[in-house]
Structure 1
Amino acid sequence: MVEKMKNQELITNKKPLDLQIKNGIKYFPVFVVLCVFAFLLLAPLVWMCLGSFKSDAEVMQYPPKFFPQANHLLENWKTVMTRIDFLTLTKNTVIYAVGCTIPSMFINALAGYAFARFNFKGKNLLFLLFLATMMIPFQVIMVPLYLEVYYLKWLNTYWGLIIPKVASAYWIFLCRAAFQELPKELEDAARIDGLGEFGIFWKIMLPLVKPTMITMLLLGINNCWNDLLWPLIVANASTMRTLSNGLAIFIGDRTSEYSLAFTAAAVSMLPMLVLYIFGQKYFVAGQVSSGIKG
């Protein structure tokens, strides 16, 4: 009897393992396909990073060598840092990215909260008009925006860089979706406790959509950090250039020096890579919670 019970326990313990093996076999082709796509996406990035530590001769060498020689590891980085005003470019980029993103988070969250929790005349039509602006390319409104900045005398200023980028229909859409997921009972309980509408938004609702707000922070800073066109138009003075503009001009002047071009691209990419590594958990959670409802 005891032996039969032991055999039954062994059988029941094997079932989950067998199920795991079956699931592994079932999803193995999907895993292989994902690995192939991951390799195709990461290969240029890895080659660029390795090329930043190589000399031009090593970059153009055929057949190519994967790893750089030890005697040329940091020469390109020293050259890039000494040939460009790295501190000024970084300062302008940080001011541009933070100045656009922080006010944008507050304004777009307020608009998304209003569309999600309030009922007012013409709400759906107004929201559709906001969504319609997402289909208009930036190049279409670029000239009118430039004229506005010009007549306001904001060329080569932080105001001209930041103000036109504060509001975003895409972020309003995500915030609306996130706020719609919250139960209405939270508002009713807050009103009973004596909170006003802004207090409900600031103290109750906003902390509950933290993943969405962090997603806005990460993507907003990333978009401004890598933005090339708008800063190139309204901030063409050397003292107001952002990092992407300064490095683009640096690369354009040295199109034949591929190792320095790789290094400049790596310099621009590195801060955003570190930011994403530390915030990826909140980024994924924000995308999931904001995409449940539209």
Structure 2
Amino acid sequence: MRKEALSKGTIYVLLSLGAILMLLPFVWMISTSLKAPNEVMAMPPVWIPSEWQFENYSSASEAAPFGTYFFNSIIVTVLTTIGELLTTILAAYAFSRINFHGKGVVFAVLLGTMMVPGEMLLIPNFVTVSNLGWIDSYEGLVIPWIASIFSIFLLRQYFFSVPQELSYAAKVDGCSDFKFLWYVMVPLAKPALITIALLKIIGSWNAFLWPLIVTNSQELRTLPVGLSAFTTEAGIKYELLMAASTMVILPMLLLFFVMQKYVISGVARSGLKG
């Protein structure tokens, strides 16, 4: 009994240390966003500002057209999420319930593409988007990211957990594959779909490199790209940069805390571990 208590205590201590290490960057970001300029680079570091500079947030919001950036981020995030959900649902159902020649080979090839670093696809994607005339447009920001092999794999595993007898019963009642998908499989896969949507929302909201290279004008840039407004030839205004970063990250943190139970449920039911 004592050995078991000691083991649990060790685990809790290690988990607490890990949590503290993970939270330190966020604490530093919020602390810096409330500092005066002379305290930002002070040595030793100042964790608690002598005076709370809340005006840093208003100054940061006025330093660039963040209203436009916020609107663009919402549009891109919503469209890419809806697009990925549609492609994921259709592809996952095909790979889990429909038998066709070469299904295993096709799926294995698609899984193999997950081993290709995303950075290697930037140039081919950029050339394709450029040839289509989608540079500096919503099409270029959205369409290349409306499908995800990982999401298809996740939902396919979830679909496998649905008893095959439901499909047989539906076909006996005259239900087509399309109706069975939308009226039976999709409602049952709600936790997995919420997980996929949440991961996509966070990824799209925080995307920086692709929006940076595919947009040329401020009218189409998103929030992460807009943070570069605080980096000038004269230096970086860290207090304003951290204030803007806090405003950018806060919506995603709140969303994750509200929806985290669905993420856990979706991953657990899909059979993914670790």
Q: TM-score per shorter chain, which class?
A: over 0.9
Contact 2:63 2:229 in 1 (8 A): no
Q: Indicate the percent of aligned positions where both proteins have the same amino acid.
A: 40
Task: Tell whether the 8 Å contact from 1:146 to 1:234 is kept in structure 2 after alignment.
Answer: yes
- 1:195 alignment counterpart: 175
Per-residue deviation, 1:26:
2.9
Q: Mapping of 1:78-227 within 5 angstroms? A: 78-227=58-207
State the alpha-carbon separation in 1 of the partners of residues 160 and 119 from structure 2: 32
Unaligned runs of 5+ in 2: none
Among candidates 231, 254, 260, match of residue 280 of structure 1: 260
* Residues 1:268 and 2:248 are matched in the alignment: yes
**For residues 48 and 114 of structure 1, do their structure 2 counterparts lie closer, same or farther at Cα, with a shift above 3 Å needed?**
same
Q: In structure 1, the residue corresponding to 2:83 is in which secondary structure?
A: helix
- Cα displacement string for residues 8-62 of structure 1 (whole angstroms, at most 9, x for unaligned residues): xxxxxxxxxxx6x774433111111111111111111111111111112222333
CA contact (8 A) 1:211 1:285 kept: yes
Judge conservation of contact 1:116–1:179 (CA < 8 Å) in 2: yes
CA distance in 1, matches of 2:220, 2:177: 40
- Alignment match, 1:3: none
Given the alignment of the two structures, is residue 57 of structure 1 paired with residue 44 of structure 2, yes or no? no
Deviations 1:215-242 (A, max 9, x none): 1111101111111111111112111111
Aligned to 1:14: none
Is 1:230 matched up with 2:204?
A: no
Provide closer, same or farther for how the CA distance between residues 263 and 254 of structure 1 changes in structure 2, counting only shifts above 3 A.
Answer: farther
TM superposition outliers: structure 1 runs of 4+ over 2 Å = 21-26, 58-70, 248-257
The match for 2:9 among 28, 38, 41 is 28
Q: Equivalent residue for 1:16? A: none
The residue that corresponds to 2:237 in the other structure is 257
Partner of 1:239: helix, strand, or coil?
helix
The count of residues paired between Structure 1 and Structure 2 equals 273
Once residues 253 and 7 of structure 2 are traced to their aligned partners in structure 1, the CA distance between those partners, rounded to angstroms, is 33
Between 127-136 and 186-195, the greater mean CA deviation after superposition: 186-195
Q: Which amino acid aligns with 1:239?
A: E
TM-score for both structures, normalised by structure 2 = 0.94
RMSD: 1.8
Q: Counterpart of 2:219 in 1: which secondary structure? A: coil
